[in-house]
Structure 1
Amino acid sequence: MFQEKLRQGWLDRSGNFGMISALLAPVLLASAGGAVDVAVAYNTRVDMQAQLDAAMLAAARKSGKNAQELEARNFLSLSAEDDKINETTGFVLTVNADGSITGGYEQAVETRFLRIIGLSSFKVGVDTTVAASAEEAAGGNGCIYALGNQSQAVLINSGANVKSTKCEVHVHSSSNPAFIMNAGATIDTAKFCVKGANYIKNGGTLSNLETRCAAEADPYAGKMPEPSVPATCTTSGTMDGQNITLQPGKHCGTTFNGSPTITFKPGLHIISGRMIINSGATVKAEGVTFYFPDVNSEIRANGGLTFTATAPTSGAYKNILMFEKTSDASNNRYPQQYIFNGSKGEVLKGIIHLPNRDVTYNSTTNQTNNITLVVNTIIMNSSNWKIEPLEAGGTTSTSGLANPRILR
Structure 2
Amino acid sequence: MMAAVMMPVLLVVAGGTVDVSNAFTEKRHLQEKLDAGVLAAATKSTPQTQRAEIENFLGDLVGEDGKKIDLTNSVSVASNSDGSVTGDFKSDFKPSFLSIIGLNTLPISVSSTAIAPKAKASGACIYVLGNKNQAVLINSGAIVKSTTCGIDVQSVSDPAFIMNSGSTIDTTRFCVKGTKYIKNGGTLTNMLVGCNAAADPYAGKFAEPKLPTTCTNSGTKDGQTQSIKPGMQCDLTFNGSPTVTFEPGLHIIKGRMIINSNATVVADGVTFYFPDVDSEIRANGGLTFKASAPTSGAYKGILMFEKTSDAAVGSNTRQYIFNGSKGETLEGIIYLPNRDVTYNSTTNQSNKITMVVNTMIVNSANWSLTSYDGADTGAKTAARLVK
Q: TM-score, normalised by structure 2?
A: 0.66
**Is contact 2:313-2:337 (8 Å) kept?**
no
**Stretches of 4+ moved more than 3 A in 1?**
135-139, 363-368, 400-406
Q: Match of 2:231? A: 249
Shift in CA distance, 224/138, structure 1 to aligned 2, threshold 3 Å: farther
Which residue, out of 126, 132, 136, partners 1:154? 136
Shift of 1:383: 1.0
Shift of 1:366: 6.1
CA separation in 1, counterparts of 2:162 and 2:250?
37
Q: Match of 1:258? A: 240
CA separation in 1, counterparts of 2:128 and 2:146?
17
Shift in CA distance, 168/351, structure 1 to aligned 2, threshold 3 Å: same
CA separation in 1, counterparts of 2:340 and 2:349?
25
Q: Match of 1:185? A: 167
* 1:37-76 equivalence runs, <5 A: none
- Deviations 1:79-103, CA, capped at 9 Å, x for gaps: xxxxxxxxxxxxxxxxxxxxxxxxx
CA separation in 2, counterparts of 1:295 and 1:138?
30
* 1:73-152 equivalence runs, <5 A: 139-152=121-134
Q: Which amino acid aligns with 2:357?
A: V
**Is contact 2:165-2:184 (8 Å) kept?**
yes
CA separation in 2, counterparts of 1:375 and 1:361?
12
**Is contact 2:263-2:287 (8 Å) kept?**
yes
Q: Which amino acid aligns with 1:184?
A: G
Q: Match of 2:332? A: 350
**Is contact 2:347-2:364 (8 Å) kept?**
no
**Is contact 1:137-1:219 (8 Å) kept?**
no
Shift of 1:138: 5.8
Give unpaired runs (5+ residues) of structure 2: 1-42, 44-114
- Deviations 1:347-371, CA, capped at 9 Å, x for gaps: 0000000000000013657663110
Q: CA RMSD in A?
A: 2.4
Q: Match of 2:257? A: 275
CA separation in 2, counterparts of 1:308 and 1:172?
30
Q: Match of 1:200? A: 182
Shift in CA distance, 138/340, structure 1 to aligned 2, threshold 3 Å: farther
Q: Match of 1:338? A: 320
Q: Match of 2:110? A: none
Q: Match of 1:295? A: 277
Shift in CA distance, 277/136, structure 1 to aligned 2, threshold 3 Å: farther
Shift of 1:403: 5.2
**Is contact 2:119-2:381 (8 Å) kept?**
no
**Is contact 1:339-1:362 (8 Å) kept?**
yes
Shift in CA distance, 367/171, structure 1 to aligned 2, threshold 3 Å: closer
Shift of 1:396: 3.6
Shift of 1:330: 7.0
Q: TM-score, normalised by structure 1?
A: 0.63
Which residue, out of 129, 151, 156, partners 1:169? 151
**Per the alignment, in what secondary structure is the counterpart of residue 278 of structure 2?**
coil
**Is contact 1:295-1:331 (8 Å) kept?**
no
Q: Match of 1:381? A: 363
CA separation in 1, counterparts of 2:313 and 2:142?
31
**Per the alignment, in what secondary structure is the counterpart of residue 325 of structure 2?**
coil
Q: Which amino acid aligns with 2:282?
A: R
> How many residue pairs end up in the alignment?
271
Q: Match of 1:51? A: none
CA separation in 1, counterparts of 2:227 and 2:271?
15
Q: Which amino acid aligns with 2:134?
A: Q
Give unpaired runs (5+ residues) of structure 1: 1-59, 61-131
- Deviations 1:104-128, CA, capped at 9 Å, x for gaps: xxxxxxxxxxxxxxxxxxxxxxxxx
CA separation in 1, counterparts of 2:304 and 2:201?
15
**Per the alignment, in what secondary structure is the counterpart of residue 176 of structure 1?**
coil
CA separation in 1, counterparts of 2:336 and 2:312?
16
**Per the alignment, in what secondary structure is the counterpart of residue 219 of structure 1?**
coil
CA separation in 2, counterparts of 1:384 and 1:152?
21
**Is contact 2:314-2:358 (8 Å) kept?**
no
Q: Which amino acid aligns with 1:405?
A: A
Q: Match of 2:382? A: 404
Task: Please say which structure displays the higher CA radius of gyration.
Answer: 1
Shift in CA distance, 367/197, structure 1 to aligned 2, threshold 3 Å: closer
